[in-house]
Amino acid sequence: MDILKSLGHPEEIFNLFKFKMGGCSTVMRKLDYESMSESLRTCYLYLNQTSRSFAAVIQALDGELRHAVCIFYLVLRALDTVEDDMTIPMDKKVPMLNDFHTFLYQDEWCFTESQEKDRQVLADFPTISVEFRNLAKEYRDVISDICHRMGVGMAEFLEKKVGSMKEWDLYCHYVAGLVGIGLSQLFSASQLEDPEVGHDTEIANSMGLFLQKTNIIRDYLEDIQVGRAFWPQEAWSQFAGRLEDFAQPEKLDSALSCLNFLVTDALRHVPDVIAYLSRLQNQSVFNFCAIPQVMAIATLSTCYNNPRLFQGVVKIRKGQAVTLMMEATNMRAVQTIITQYNQEILQKVSHSDPTRDKTLRILALIREKSAVSQSNLPSRTAHLSPVYLSAAMLLAALSWQYLSTTAVQAQGTGDMKGQ
171 is catalytic: yes
For residue 252, how many C-alpha atoms fall within 13 Å in the half-sphere facing its CB? 8
174 is catalytic: no
Nearest to 273, CA basis, from 287, 289, 257, 258: 289
Question: Catalytic: which of 100, 111, 132, 171?
Answer: 171
Q: Is the pLDDT of residue 264 over 60?
A: yes
Does this model's pTM top 0.85? My answer is: no
d(CA 211, CA 153): 18
Task: Indicate the helix (H) or strand (E) that contains 125.
Answer: helix 125-133
Contact 204, 180 (CB under 8 A): yes
Question: Catalytic: which of 41, 66, 77, 218?
Answer: 218
Mean pLDDT, the chain, as a whole number?
85
- Straight-line distance from the first to the last Cα atom of the chain, in angstroms, rounded to the nearest whole number: 32
Q: Is the pLDDT of residue 243 over 50?
A: yes
Cβ partners under 8 Å of residue 257, min gap 6: 238, 239, 353, 354, 355
Question: Catalytic: which of 46, 100, 220, 288?
Answer: 288
Cβ partners under 8 Å of residue 15, min gap 6: 23, 319, 322, 323, 326
288 is catalytic: yes
Q: Is the pLDDT of residue 398 over 60?
A: no
Q: Is 112 helix (H, G, I), strand (E, B) or coil?
A: coil
Contact 334, 277 (CB under 8 A): yes
332 is catalytic: no
Contact 68, 134 (CB under 8 A): no
- The pLDDT of residue 27 is 52
Question: Catalytic: which of 228, 308, 332, 361?
Answer: 228
Question: pLDDT band at 160, cuts 50/70/90?
Answer: confident
- The pLDDT of residue 208 is 97
* Average pLDDT rounded to a whole number, residues 206-223: 96
For the stretch 304-348, pLDDT in tens is 999 999 998 888 878 778 888 888 999 999 999 999 999 999 999
CATH 3.30.230.10 fits 161-373, yes or no: no
For the stretch 111-150, pLDDT in tens is 999 989 999 999 999 999 999 999 999 999 999 999 999 9
- The pLDDT of residue 23 is 52
Contact 200, 185 (CB under 8 A): no
Domain boundaries, the chain: 38-155, 161-373
* Average pLDDT rounded to a whole number, residues 140-163: 94
At CA 397, angle to CA 395 and CA 402, rounded to 5?
90
